Each structure stands twice: as C-alpha cells, then as structure tokens.
Structure 1
Amino acid sequence: MKIVIKAFLRYLLRRRSLSVLQLLGIACGVAAVVGMTLSAKSALSSFNEAVEFLRGKATHLIERPAGPMEEDIIAKIMHDPAVDFLAPTIDRRIRLTNDGDLIRVLGIELFLDRTIRPEITRAVRSEEKGISRDEFFDFLLNDKSVFIDRNLATQLKISKGNTLETSRGSFNVVGIFSNPTGEPLILMDIGNAQRLFNMNGNIDRIDLILNDESAFRSRWETGFKIESNRQRMETLTALLGAFRLNLQALSLLALFVGVFLIYNTAMFTVVNRRRDAGIMRSLGANRNEILGAFLSEILLFGITGGAIGSVLGYLLSRFLTGLMGSTISSLYFFLSPSPLSWSWWNIVAGILLGCGASILGSVSPLIELIRTEPAITTYGRTYHRISSKTVKKITLIGLGIIMLSVLLLGMSYLHVYVGFAGTFVFLLGVSHLTGLILVVIIPPMRNLFNLIGKTAGKIAAGNILLNMNRTSIAVAAFMIALSMSIGLGSLINSFRQSLIWWMNSQLRGDIYISTRGDVEVPLDFYEELRKIKGIGGIDIFRTLQISYNNIPAYITAIDASVLQKYARFGWVKGGDENWEPVKTGSVIVSESFARRFNIKKGDTVYVKGINGTSPLSVAAVFYDYASEHGVIMMDRSIFIKLFNDRTINSLGIFIDTTQQDKQTIIKEVKRRAKNRGLPTSTRDQFHSRILSVFDNTFAVTSSMRIIAIIVAFFGIAGALMTLFVERQREFGIYRALGFSTKQIASITLLEGIGMGIISFVMSIGTGTALAFILIKVINLRSFNWTIFYHFSMNPYIVTLLTALFASIGACLYPLWKVFRTYPQMQIREE
C-alpha cells in the first residue's frame, strides 16, 4: 500500500502545473463559501457589539412614543422605587462639514451615566487617558468641547486639541477614547447637547436599571414607551431580518457553486490518473490499494486546497465585510463592521469542506475506475458514449426534481427558507437536463463549427457529445453560474425600474428640504415658505419607528391634501379617491405592512400614542419601497393628536403648475434654506441619491455574481484539462494523419467555446426562470413588496460576453499544452 501511495504522490511533484490547477479549483470553491460566511458573521457580530457598548449595563429605557421627553420627568422617575439607576440621554446625528458623513452624537450626564455606561464615562474622567483637570471641566462647561472616538480621529487625521468641523459649527477635541463598535461617535455633556440641538428642557430618553419591571410599567406605561434590552435587541435584529436572509442565501449560492467546482476538480484528479492506475494494477496492486492511493491523493488535495481556500476566503471576507457595512449603513443604521480576527477554525472548516466535497466528487469516477479492467485503463482513455436510454433516464430524474422544486416554491408561504430550498432544487433539476440539451444542440452546433473550423470544428462539437460524462458536469456548473448572473441581473434591473416608477409617482416634489436626517425643519420656516408666491403646496414629512405586534414598523405623517393634489401614488386597489378618508382620520398602509400583518382595506390597525392605543381604519394599501418593514401613513393632524409631536423631518415643496418660471422660485427657496442652515435637494438630486443607495445595496450581490463566474471558470478549465489528458493518444493520431498543430489547437479552443455557448443557451431559459422565482417568490417572502418584472437585454449581453471570455480563458492552458506536446511522444506512449 505504501509503495502505491508513494508512486501516486510522486506524480504530483512531476506535474506541478496540473497540481496547482487542481489545488486552485478546490481553493476557489472553498474561498467562495468561507468568504461569504465570515463576512456575514462579521457584520452581524459587529452589530451586536455596537448595541451592547452603547446600552452598557442598562436593563430598560423609557421615552415618549414620538419626539423628545421633558427633562423634569427625570426627578419623578429617579424617586420611583423600581429604579436603581438612571441616565438621561440625548442621541442625535451631526454632519461633518456641509456634505460629510452623519456622525452619532451622544449627550450624557457624566455623573449619572457612570453606572449605566462605565466604559464610556471612564474615557472622560480626569484621572485617566492623560486628561487634565482643566480639560475635564472644559468638557463639562464649554459648549464646543467634545470627545471623539479613536477610529474617527484616525479617519479625519485629527488629534487631541484639534478642531472638528461640522454642519453645526466647530468643536474643540479635548480627548479621544476607544470605541469597539466601529461606529464614529462624539461625546458631549448633555447640557451642551441640549443647546446644540435646540432641545432646552428636553431629552431623547432615559436609560434605566430596574429592579421591578412590572411595577414600573404599571406606573409609567401610559404616555411613554418602555423597552427592555431584550425587546430592543429583538427590534434591531428584526430590522436586519430580510438582510440576514439574503446573506444566508448568497452563502448557500457560494456553497452550491463551490461544491460543483470541487466535484469537477476531484473528478479530473481521478481521470488524470487512469493510466497510472492501470499500470499499477498490471504490476500486482489490488483494487483496495489503488482506491487507498486515490483517496490519499484526493484527501491531500482536499486538505491543502481547503487550507489555502480558507485563507483566501478570509481575505475575501475583509473586502465583503466593508460592502456589507456600507449596505447596512445605507438602509438601516450606521454600522462599520471590523473583519473577524483570524481563527484556526477557519482552516478546519475549509479542510472539512474541501475534503467532503472532494470525496463526493470522486465517488463516481472511482467506482468507474475500480470496475474497469487493468488492460483497458492502461490506454489512459476510454470512450463513454452515454446511451439515449441513459439520457432519458437522467432527464426524467431532472424533470422529477423540477416538479419537486415547483412544489416547494408553492409552499414558500410557510417560510422563506422553503422558497430558498425550492430555488436550489430547481437549479439542481435543470442541471440534470444538460445531457438532453447536449443531444439536441450538438447537431446544429456541429454544422456551425464545420463552417467555422472545417473538420476541426466538426470534431470539436462531436467531442463535447462523445465525452458527455465529463462535459455535462462542467456545462451544468457553468450554466448555473451564468443563470445566477442573468437571474440576479434581471432582479436588480427590475427592482431598479420599479424603484424609478415609485419615485416618479410618489416623490414628485420640485424641491426637498432636509432629507438627510441630521437637521429638523423649524415650524416657523415652514410657515415662512407658505407665504412665497407660486408655491402650490408643501408636504410636511415626519417618520417614526414603532413596534407593531412586537415587530418593527414605521408611522409616517404627511399632508394628505397636498399629496392628493400633486402625488400619483401607486395603489394596490383603487385610485386617488383613497385620499378622502385619510383627510378625515383614516390611514393608508404600505404593501409590505399589509402583507406582513395580513391587513387589507377596511381593517383596523391599533397605534399606541401618548394617551393610549387608538384604533385607525385602513382606507387603502399602496405600493412602497421606502421600508420592507412596512409603513402606516396618516395625515399630520391625526399624528399630532396621537403623539403631540410637531417635529418636521423634511419638506416636499410643489410649485404651482401654472407658474412659468419655476427656477426663480426654487432659487428663492434654496436661498432661504441656506440662511437657516438647511440642506436642499431638487427632485433629480433626491432621486439620484436614492438610486445611489440602491446601487450600493446590491454591491454584495454583484460581488457574488463575479465569484460564481470565477468558480465556474475553473470548472470549464478542469473539464478541458480532463479531455486533454484523456486524449493524448488521439491527438497523436490526428497529428500523424496530417493534422497541423493549429488544427488541434482549434479543436481544443472550439470545444471550450462550444461548452460556453451551450452553457449560455441553457442559462437563457434557466436564468429567466430564476429571475421570476427571485422576484415573485423569494423577494415577496423576504421583503413583502411587489417588484414588477422589466425585461432588459443588458444581463443577457453581459452574461454572453462573460461566457465567451471565460470559455476562451479556460482554454489557454490546454492550448499551451497542445503547442508544447509532440506527436511522436503521444504515439510512443502507446
């Protein structure tokens, strides 16, 4: 046994280039899975750390259902017997310079906060961090003194004593502290923060340590929102629910394509050594020894490739982690996840995946090999014509798997995971149809290649069909990767077009004021704008996150009369007559809210306001892409009655349609807003910002499309190498019969291109079907909103070019081998 194993392993050193190709195949498959899994874990881990750090030791928080709360409540709560410790807090955002990033500002009461958040307050205590007593008192007494976290200081290249420039003025940095969350953070004394944000006499919330939750709730439930840490974490986790599902889906995609590649590589490993196995058996080695030698080689590749792949996956995760952080920050809340630190468990996971998939991929060719007589295997090549009966059998199995996928997709209402399972089962079923597609498409392809490459082209097309047991797996793997490219591309394009339709229908204001979240619009400025001649209407916008049936959702306050006149909402049922009941106290809900909570027109929703819970009738359901968590939209007058909150987040200004010179009015609005320090955006600028967020959101998905193509590229390369190694004698005979080196190279090149074309042809139907599955099933179950399918040639053209370039690229190494190999050597081997 040892002699046989040594003989096999010695071959790896002699054929270094082939060994490297095989290792890369396994490593890329493992890297795709490990990279996506680690980056998803990193983003979610950083999210948990951020929540824990800012929460500190608090067990609960209390706040108004909407808007700030009065600071005189602090004294009353402080004397409540259920309260052990409390800390009033101001939690707002500020923008660096005029167009910089939004940064979180935490206003804290230093002496009350040291029990709640000791890690934060310790940073500004005078005896630590080299902070002098003067700097400590400067922080407390000077409106313009702040602490900033170390990451922000590094990013802005500022140090202690420097000036921090923001949209609300300049601040003196009196100290720098460590912040493990990755989120840029500015600390201020709470009194200074009140003056900065014009909140004199008000605070945002009070963080609490309670000893009796039920007693405290019984005394303070009315008029306030009390939230435990568990509820807070569940709410924030639920906000990321759909995002987490999509990360898991992308990880499964990486695993699915990666296993296909590793399978292909392992099969190549076995086929590549057929002749050696035949010689060893002729010299007396038995089947078990050959099997053991092969398994040793395969495990060596699995271990080495898995280890390399885990390292590559870790490096890939560092890139993907940044993309995920950017996506979460754009859609939900700021998150700057740090890549996970290196762990040796990464290598263990990579090795297990590499070895498991390698053994799985080698089972079929190993069984075939040990059943073949030694005299046949010494030829190094056997022809494997799959009979029409076998093709029919495999096709029927594939159709059965597709029927199972239809059943699973139909049951996706049970859980989105059932939809994911149906999607992957569908891809698996279609891959079983590859043999049938080869039988159908090769005859016309043979005629086409005959016109292009004459005899060489005809042979190339025939070889694809003749070696169906080798080519079908590579074609299936490439087809799945190309289908994912078309499916995801069509999904993104359809979503983008649906989003543009929604913006043009719902966001029709000529100019918007303060849409960035860091500045509230003063009520008197709204009254000032109303007096400008030529303005037809101003929509006052206020949004509020709530918990509806313990699930996060949003309430939006608008001016129903203005939107009825100027907006063109997309209604699930009915038309603009739906606005009439909204003006008298009813609400409209977004499609995602309606689907999530099984609400329809005429139902009642219950909203907790400052005076308790109020029933509100649902007048209509509208299409909306602002939040997958759902929106309850009501007139501002009803919102004020419920929450006694007159805060204005932004204004949408509609210029009267009879005005000839709109630009003059827009310039006047901009001038007045600038005097107030309020940012403005025209309709086009506002829409562009939304589309920019959308494009950034799909950066991770686009990355996975590229990774899938790279993985499939190695699949095609492996299949071509398998065919090349098996046909050493055949190439020698071709050359002896007068075929030139160029003709043999043409055969190899056209085989690769042919496999790429077949993969693309299959991906047209499969990718389109996948797009409909993603849009009508997965998206609907994940986000609860409708995406309207929009056909575009772009995903198909990009995928065709990708298929051609990848196929040609995969041929380069086999072509190089053809030009380096002599016919005499090939014939002499026989």
Structure 2
Amino acid sequence: MTSLWRHLTWPTWRDQPGRVVLAVIAVMLGVALAFGVHLLNGAALTEFARAARSVNGQPDLVLRARSGPLTDADFIALLQQPEVAAANPVLQGQAVWRGKTGADERPLLIRITGADVLALLASAGGARPLAPDLLPQVDGGGPGALLGARTLHLNAAARRHLAEGQTTLTLRIAVPGDPTPRDVEFAVGGRIAAGNAPLALLDIADAQQLLGRLGALDRIDVQLADGVDARAWAARQPAHWRAEPPADEGERLSDMTRAYRVNLGLLALMALFTGSFLVYAVLSLATAQRQPQWALVGVLGVSARMRWRLILIEGAAIGVVGTALGLALGVGLAAGALKLLGSDLGLHGEGGSSVGLLFNQPLLGPGLAYGALGLVAALAAALAPALTVRRIAPALVLKGLGLPAGRTLPAWVGLGLLALGAALATLPPLDGTPVAAYLSMFVLLIGGMALVPALVRGLAALLARLPSGALLLLARERSRDQATEARRSLAGVLVALALAVAMTVMIGSFRASLMQWLDHALPADLYVRSSLRGPDGLPAPLAPAYLQAVDQLPAIARSAPQRSTRVRLAPGAEPVSLTARPLDEGGLPLLQRWQGERAPGALAVWVNEAGRDQNGLQPGRVLTVELVDSGRRVSVQVMGVWRDYSRQSAALWMALADYRAASGDERITELALWLHPGQPLDAARQAVRAAAAQAEDIDTAAAGELRALSLNIFDRSFAITVWLQAVALAVGLFGVIASQSAQALARKREFGLLRHLGLSRRALMKLLLVEASLTGGAGALAGLGLGLGLSAVLVFVVNPQSFHWSMEMHLPVARLAVLVGLAFAAAVGASLLAGRRALGADAVRAVREDA
C-alpha cells in the first residue's frame, strides 16, 4: 500500500503542490472558523457567568417582593428567623460620572450597588461567603475604612477612569420623584473585584439616601443554616415574598444568544461544506491526470478495492492535515479575539488578555467533534473520485475510452427531495432553534443537485430544434450521456452560488425591511431623552418645566411625548418593556390586527412578534398586567402585533392617555420633535439642549443619525456573512475550474481521435463552448433557483423562528445577475481553458501512441 501510494500519488502532489495546499487550506479554514466560533462563544458565556457570580454572589436563595420593592422591615423580619445564617440587602441604581479627567471626556454611566458591607465582611470568614468579589479591599485603615460616609469602592473598570491621585468624584443622579437631578460628591474608597462594566459599591444606607429610595430594597441574598432545606423554607415564607434559587446568568445568556450562536456557527460550517467541494475538485483532477497509471496498475493486478482505498487515503491525509491545522488556527483566532477585545468581548470598559478563558471550558470533546467534521468532509469529498477509480475498466481506459459514465438518479428522486425540503420548512422550531429549517435547506441543496442531470438533458434537447450539424449533434449526445459528470463538476459552484444567492436575498430583504421599519419608527425630525438613568436603567423622566420650555421654542412645530417603563405579564414574572405614547394605529407597523369585539373594561395594547411567539400574546387575548412603577394591576387586551427590529424579547405599546389614566403617572421620558419647515437642525438641537437646567443632562439625536447608526450596525453585523459568501463563491469557482480541467484531461484521447477524423482545432473549441454553455447554464439556473428557494426558507422561516423578526422578500436583481453571470462565465471559461490545453499536440500524440 505504501509503495503504491509513493509511486502513484506522491509524484502528482510533488509536481503540483498548489492544488494540495488549496485543498488543505479549505479544510483548515472551515474547521478553524467553526472551532474558533465555538471557543469564543464558550469563553464569553463562561466570563459572563463568572462576572455575574462575582457581583451577585452565590447565596442559597434570592428574596424579592412579588409586587413592588422589599423594605427594611422585610430585612429585619428575615434576620429574626433562626434558619437564616446570613443575609445581604441589595439596592441597585445608575449614575452619571462627569467629573473624570483624561482623553475621553464623555460622561460615564456607572452602576451603583448598595450592600451591607458588615454582612459581607462577616460572611467572608466562613466557608460560604455571600459575595467575596464585592467585599472591598482597602489599603490601610482596617475594617473601619469600609464604612466611611459617602465612600465609593470601585472595580477595575471604573478605576481606570480616575486621574492620577484622584481621591474624590462627583456623580449626577436622577432621584425618583424629584424633577431636578443632583450632584453628589463621594470619597474614593477601596477596590472590588466584581464585574467587567464600571461598578461602584456603596453601603446600603448611603445607597438608599443617594438613590432617593429610603427604606427600599431590590432583593435580599439569603444564606441558610446548614441542614435547612431551601425549598421547604421558601414555601413557609409570607405570600408577598418570592424566594428562589439564584438565576444561572450563564444559562440565561446562553438562551438569549442561542439563535446568534447557532447561526454564526452554521455560517462557519458553510466554509467547511463548500471546502469539501474544493477537496473533491482537487482529487478529481488528480484522478484524471493519473488515469493511465490507475488503468495500468489495474491490468497488473491491483484490485478495484485497493484503488478505492488509495484515493480515500489521499482524502484522509488532506483531512487530517487540514483538521490539525484548523484546530490550532481556531484556538489562535479565538485567543486573538479575546486578546484584542478582552474578557467581555469589548462590551465594557476593561480589556486585556483573557486567553485563559479558553482553557476554562471543555476542549477535548469539542475539538474531537470539529476534527471529526473536517475529516468526514474530506472523506466525503474523496468518495466520488474513489468510486470512479474503482469502476474503471483498465483495458478500456488504456485504449483511450475514458472514464465510465456516472450513474444517474431518476428525476423523481430530486423532485421528492425538494418536496421533502419544503415540508421540513413548515415544522416548528426545536427549543427555539430552527433545526428543521436548516435541515430543509440541506435537503433542498441535495435535491437540486440531483436534478442537474435532468436539467442538462432538457437543455440538450433544445438543441434538437436548432439546425442540425455535426458539432451540435456531438454536443447534444455528449451532454446527454455525460449529464451525471456535469452534476459532479458543477457541484461546488452550484452549492456556492445557491448559498450566495440565498444570503444576498436574505440580507437585501432584511436591510430593505429595516429601512421601511425605520421610516415608521422614526417619523419625527429630532428625538430627545435624558442622559441620566433611573434605578431600573431606563432614561430618567424629563422635568415638567423643561417639557414646557421645549414646546415654546420657535423652531418646534409639534412634539409627541413618550413614557418608557416596564410591566409584568404575570405576578412575580420578569418585567418587560412598555412604551406609552400617542398612537395612531394606522401609522403603526402592524402585522396582525384583532378583528373581534373589544373586551369591556380592558385597555388596548399592541405587542411585538417576540411577545406573541414567546409569551403567547395572540391578538384578542385579555390578561391582567402589573405596572411596575405604580404596582397597579390593569386589564389589557392585545389589539395587534407590530414589527420590532430593536428587541428579541417581549415589548408592549399603549396609548399614553390610557397609561396615564391607569397608572396616575404623568412623567415623560422621551420627546419626538417636528421642526417648522426650513428650520436648521443644528440650531434647533442647540436650543433644545439649552432649555435644560444643564445641557449635559439631555441627549438628542436626529432621525437621519439614528437611521444611519442602525444601518451601520446592520452592515457591520452582516460583514462576516458577506466575507463568507465571497469565500464560498471563490471555493466553488475554483472547484468548477478544477473539475472541468479533470474532464478535459480525461478526454484528451477523444479530442485526438476527433482531430484525426478531420475536425479542426477551432471546431473542437466551438464544440467545447456549446457543451460548456449547456452545463454552465444548467448550473447557473439551478444555483439561482435553489438560492431563491433557500432564501425563502431564511426569510420566512429561519429569521422569524430564530429572532422573531419577520420581513418581506426583496430581490436585488442587479447583484443576482452578477452572481449568476460570474458562475456561468467561470464554468464556460474553465472549460475552454482546459480544452485548449487538452487540444494541444499531446492529444494527437496520445492517439498515435495508443494505435
């Protein structure tokens, strides 16, 4: 076996190493991208969970109120229970830090966490500390330094914004119920290890006073005595308490980002899938070049099974080398991304090396899995050339009769696969992942490739209607007899073109739908909100005096106030977004409307697609919700479903007048402003900011800026898909070039025979042009048709099931024409170039030697 490989394979690889290197690179890139994406996702989830545990600690239970906040009285009642070993009250809010110095002069949003520092210090000496990363580390001063009045203990992400030697800082805070924000000066205390984003720890009493929430608590972290059953203890607590185990933040983020991670992983595997066709093209070309050698060793006694095994060994060798390099490159790519972006992947302030995160997750199992994928892809690509070599008749090949005709699947098999793919696309997602839709796309690709021979024969039959001639007769008969070979030679470009068309249509449809949605969502000229944040992280309310001042500005034609708040869909449930503003139903981007009767006493609300799909808020449904700010419970009815590209979680709209009547809340958090015709935008923006007590408290954005920002984010998000399209298409084009070269080399003696029979070189080139046009046209048409089918699955199934975003299909005709024309030109050009080489003097000499 080794001797045969050395004499049959090594000379080809030695003389033409470029093709082997390309095949190895194709496998390497596919494995590297898939494995690197997996490692990067795993590192991000691991770090997020670690950061969440460092901030929240690891209590046995987390106590919250079923409605409204907890109070100090709840904390005292909790401490009186003998089963409670330790408890830490927590209050959270946000503030703006304006007094920092340095190159970045933009205000910094910093998270404030109020906690019982004494409780943290007491638990630190035990076997199960409540939140060790929240416990401040103070240089000197002893424990008393932890309890200084108005002292902030900062984490590393916040400390990097301190100037050298800075010992105080000033925070600007919006206090609930007070229309005027206030500045508060704090002393800089110790260091805390918790969190990646800027975080400040404050004693709970100071936090309650600072945030204007005296006596209020967001939660209490509870640690029970040894031997106490947490579930039984929670069941005995008062009805207004809700005691639950701490949430697994890593699992929660995993659920939230599953759709992104699955889609990104499948995009990476697309490179491996198309790379397998490049391996197929390389091995097919090498097989065609060694056709006489394979025939000779067959005559000398090498069995068909042995020849088959040798080709598979070549594919395995390419797969092993490419996989090994791909796994190493995948680790390098993930390490480079973490080195560049930091442990939080660039989401927050603190960067730095986080390469160690890669090794805090399982590596052996995923490495073996992705390595097996690379090896299987290479072996699958080698299977067709191996079967071809196994089926050759050595004596006939030595006579110059070429490779045997491939086996053709009946057309009904391809049609059946297309029907099966369409049926799979109608199935619901599995645990939020469109598994059936992705399987549908794969089945559609296989079905389309199975129909290529029938399509080639159909195009060849059209030649019969043209004036008959020797060249057309030869082209027609050749195309009909070798239709299966056309399927093999066009497989790579067919898959690459179909995927490129599908992604082009999907991205174009998404972008066009996003632009239409932005026109609905941003009808005004200027948008205004506070730069401060409330305790819930939402924009702080705008002062009534400021609202009046803006309405009186000469440049403002009219304004539309808006209130952003939160609502609970069920008692104790996590709050979801609620937007209250003047609503004109005709202007809403509605997808569904309730056509039935209006429920008496219920307020009208409209929900986004995520609320309909994830929370069952179908049009017409009546439910009772809790307004988080006021604690009031209100009966509402879903009157319609609206398109929302800004969220993947549930969100509700309500008329501002209905919200005010139900809640008694008159506060406004945002303004939409329309200018008088001819008013300059910049001057109006300055006037709007100047109307505030402090211009820095106001954020403004023009509609055009928000549109441009949204589209820029969209384009950056899909940049990797565009790059992968280019890679896949390049791989497919090279595959068809190599395949056509293989077929031309295999027909060298056939061309020589036709030359002896009187056909000129020019006539043979015309023959090749006709044949290439038939096969290239079939491949281009099949790729376009398959791509449109795949794009329909992406647009109408994958996106709604993955992200709860529906859209209309838009066909970018010019781009599609370029893609199809490029694929057709590559197929025809490759065939002509390969034929020109095969029609040289060697072809005539081959016939003479055979004679």
User: Shared fold by TM > 0.5?
Assistant: yes
- The Cα of 1:194 is off from its aligned counterpart by 6.2
Go from structure 1 to structure 2 and tell me whether the alpha carbon gap of 1:69 and 1:747 turns closer, same or farther (over 3 Å shift): farther
- SS class of match (1:412): coil
Alignment match, 2:413: 397
- Which residue identity does 1:371 align to in structure 2? R
Go from structure 1 to structure 2 and tell me whether the alpha carbon gap of 1:19 and 1:671 turns closer, same or farther (over 3 Å shift): same
Distance in 2 (CA, whole Å) between partners of 1:788 and 1:322 is: 40
Go from structure 1 to structure 2 and tell me whether the alpha carbon gap of 1:346 and 1:796 turns closer, same or farther (over 3 Å shift): same
Aligned equivalent of 1:587, options 605, 608, 623: 605
Alignment match, 1:307: 324
Does the CA contact (< 8 Å) of 2:137 and 2:190 recur in 1?
no
Map 1:269-288 onto structure 2 (within 5 A).
Answer: 269-288=286-305
Aligned equivalent of 1:603, options 611, 621, 628: 621
- SS class of match (2:808): coil
Does the CA contact (< 8 Å) of 1:37 and 1:251 recur in 2?
no
Distance in 2 (CA, whole Å) between partners of 1:470 and 1:371 is: 14
Correspondence 1:618 to 2:632: no
Does the CA contact (< 8 Å) of 1:590 and 1:632 recur in 2?
yes
**Cα deviation per residue 1:455-492 (whole Å; 9 max; x = unaligned)?**
99999999887754444234233222222222222222
- The Cα of 1:585 is off from its aligned counterpart by 3.2
Go from structure 1 to structure 2 and tell me whether the alpha carbon gap of 1:119 and 1:404 turns closer, same or farther (over 3 Å shift): same
Distance in 2 (CA, whole Å) between partners of 1:65 and 1:800 is: 60
Does the CA contact (< 8 Å) of 1:160 and 1:173 recur in 2?
no
Distance in 2 (CA, whole Å) between partners of 1:311 and 1:353 is: 15
Does the CA contact (< 8 Å) of 2:444 and 2:786 recur in 1?
no
Alignment match, 1:296: 313
Measured on the aligned residues, the alpha-carbon RMSD in Å equals 5.5
Go from structure 1 to structure 2 and tell me whether the alpha carbon gap of 1:291 and 1:587 turns closer, same or farther (over 3 Å shift): closer
Go from structure 1 to structure 2 and tell me whether the alpha carbon gap of 1:751 and 1:5 turns closer, same or farther (over 3 Å shift): same
Alignment match, 2:444: 426
Distance in 2 (CA, whole Å) between partners of 1:58 and 1:644 is: 37
Distance in 1 (CA, whole Å) between partners of 2:306 and 2:652 is: 70
Does the CA contact (< 8 Å) of 1:470 and 1:719 recur in 2?
no
Distance in 2 (CA, whole Å) between partners of 1:172 and 1:710 is: 60
- The Cα of 1:2 is off from its aligned counterpart by 4.3
Go from structure 1 to structure 2 and tell me whether the alpha carbon gap of 1:601 and 1:107 turns closer, same or farther (over 3 Å shift): same
Go from structure 1 to structure 2 and tell me whether the alpha carbon gap of 1:395 and 1:651 turns closer, same or farther (over 3 Å shift): same
- The Cα of 1:106 is off from its aligned counterpart by 4.8
Alignment match, 2:493: 478
Q: Which runs of 5+ in 1 are unaligned?
A: 449-454
Does the CA contact (< 8 Å) of 1:471 and 1:755 recur in 2?
yes
- The Cα of 1:573 is off from its aligned counterpart by 4.5
- The Cα of 1:774 is off from its aligned counterpart by 1.5
Distance in 2 (CA, whole Å) between partners of 1:136 and 1:809 is: 82
Go from structure 1 to structure 2 and tell me whether the alpha carbon gap of 1:103 and 1:285 turns closer, same or farther (over 3 Å shift): farther
Correspondence 1:540 to 2:556: no
Alignment match, 1:634: 654
- The Cα of 1:635 is off from its aligned counterpart by 4.9
Does the CA contact (< 8 Å) of 1:38 and 1:314 recur in 2?
yes
Distance in 1 (CA, whole Å) between partners of 2:288 and 2:754 is: 22
- SS class of match (1:206): strand
Distance in 1 (CA, whole Å) between partners of 2:773 and 2:338 is: 35
- The Cα of 1:719 is off from its aligned counterpart by 1.6
Distance in 2 (CA, whole Å) between partners of 1:663 and 1:581 is: 47
Correspondence 1:556 to 2:578: yes
**Cα deviation per residue 1:80-112 (whole Å; 9 max; x = unaligned)?**
455433332425476895658866565554443
- Which residue identity does 1:19 align to in structure 2? V
- The Cα of 1:529 is off from its aligned counterpart by 0.9
**Cα deviation per residue 1:495-548 (whole Å; 9 max; x = unaligned)?**
222223223223334432338785755546144313532564442332437576
- The Cα of 1:172 is off from its aligned counterpart by 9.0
Correspondence 1:189 to 2:178: no
Go from structure 1 to structure 2 and tell me whether the alpha carbon gap of 1:705 and 1:516 turns closer, same or farther (over 3 Å shift): farther
- The Cα of 1:783 is off from its aligned counterpart by 3.2
- The Cα of 1:254 is off from its aligned counterpart by 4.6
Distance in 2 (CA, whole Å) between partners of 1:663 and 1:509 is: 15
Alignment match, 2:8: 8
Correspondence 1:508 to 2:528: no
Go from structure 1 to structure 2 and tell me whether the alpha carbon gap of 1:792 and 1:145 turns closer, same or farther (over 3 Å shift): same
Go from structure 1 to structure 2 and tell me whether the alpha carbon gap of 1:589 and 1:826 turns closer, same or farther (over 3 Å shift): same
Distance in 2 (CA, whole Å) between partners of 1:499 and 1:591 is: 15
Alignment match, 2:92: 90
- The Cα of 1:553 is off from its aligned counterpart by 7.0
- SS class of match (1:616): strand
Distance in 2 (CA, whole Å) between partners of 1:322 and 1:800 is: 40
Distance in 1 (CA, whole Å) between partners of 2:688 and 2:601 is: 27
Map 1:217-616 onto structure 2 (within 5 A).
Answer: 219=237, 221-222=239-240, 226-230=243-247, 235-247=252-264, 249-250=266-267, 253-254=270-271, 256-315=273-332, 341=358, 348-378=368-398, 382-384=402-404, 393-412=409-428, 416-441=434-459, 468-514=483-529, 521-523=539-541, 525-531=543-549, 532-533=551-552, 536-544=558-566, 554-559=576-581, 562-564=582-584, 568-574=587-593, 585-608=603-626, 615-616=635-636
Go from structure 1 to structure 2 and tell me whether the alpha carbon gap of 1:624 and 1:322 turns closer, same or farther (over 3 Å shift): farther
Does the CA contact (< 8 Å) of 1:569 and 1:622 recur in 2?
yes
Does the CA contact (< 8 Å) of 1:326 and 1:335 recur in 2?
yes
- More helix by percentage: 1
- The Cα of 1:396 is off from its aligned counterpart by 1.8
- Which residue identity does 1:558 align to in structure 2? A
- Which residue identity does 2:313 align to in structure 1? S
Distance in 2 (CA, whole Å) between partners of 1:239 and 1:750 is: 53
- The Cα of 1:588 is off from its aligned counterpart by 2.5
Distance in 2 (CA, whole Å) between partners of 1:16 and 1:217 is: 71
- SS class of match (1:540): strand
- The Cα of 1:257 is off from its aligned counterpart by 3.4
Aligned equivalent of 2:137, options 101, 125, 135: 125
Correspondence 1:773 to 2:803: no
| Count of residues in Structure 1 that have an aligned counterpart in Structure 2 | 805
Alignment match, 1:148: 156
- The Cα of 1:555 is off from its aligned counterpart by 3.2
Q: Which runs of 5+ in 2 are unaligned?
A: 99-103, 124-128, 174-182
- Which residue identity does 2:503 align to in structure 1? L
Aligned equivalent of 2:221, options 207, 216, 219: 207
Distance in 1 (CA, whole Å) between partners of 2:697 and 2:150 is: 23
Correspondence 1:58 to 2:73: no
Go from structure 1 to structure 2 and tell me whether the alpha carbon gap of 1:694 and 1:524 turns closer, same or farther (over 3 Å shift): closer
- Which residue identity does 1:488 align to in structure 2? M
Does the CA contact (< 8 Å) of 2:59 and 2:221 recur in 1?
yes
Aligned equivalent of 1:112, options 107, 116, 119: 119
- The Cα of 1:261 is off from its aligned counterpart by 4.2
- The Cα of 1:401 is off from its aligned counterpart by 0.6
Does the CA contact (< 8 Å) of 1:714 and 1:810 recur in 2?
no
Distance in 2 (CA, whole Å) between partners of 1:445 and 1:42 is: 59
Does the CA contact (< 8 Å) of 1:720 and 1:811 recur in 2?
yes
- The Cα of 1:399 is off from its aligned counterpart by 0.4
Alignment match, 2:177: none
Alignment match, 1:452: none
Distance in 2 (CA, whole Å) between partners of 1:113 and 1:439 is: 79
TM-score (norm: length of structure 2): 0.76
- Which residue identity does 1:542 align to in structure 2? S
Distance in 1 (CA, whole Å) between partners of 2:760 and 2:531 is: 68
Go from structure 1 to structure 2 and tell me whether the alpha carbon gap of 1:625 and 1:149 turns closer, same or farther (over 3 Å shift): closer
Identity %: 20
- Which residue identity does 1:148 align to in structure 2? A
Distance in 2 (CA, whole Å) between partners of 1:571 and 1:44 is: 35
Go from structure 1 to structure 2 and tell me whether the alpha carbon gap of 1:432 and 1:167 turns closer, same or farther (over 3 Å shift): farther
Aligned equivalent of 1:684, options 704, 707, 714: 704
**Cα deviation per residue 1:393-423 (whole Å; 9 max; x = unaligned)?**
4422110111111222233367732222222
TM-score (norm: length of structure 1): 0.78
- The Cα of 1:247 is off from its aligned counterpart by 3.7
Does the CA contact (< 8 Å) of 2:64 and 2:220 recur in 1?
yes
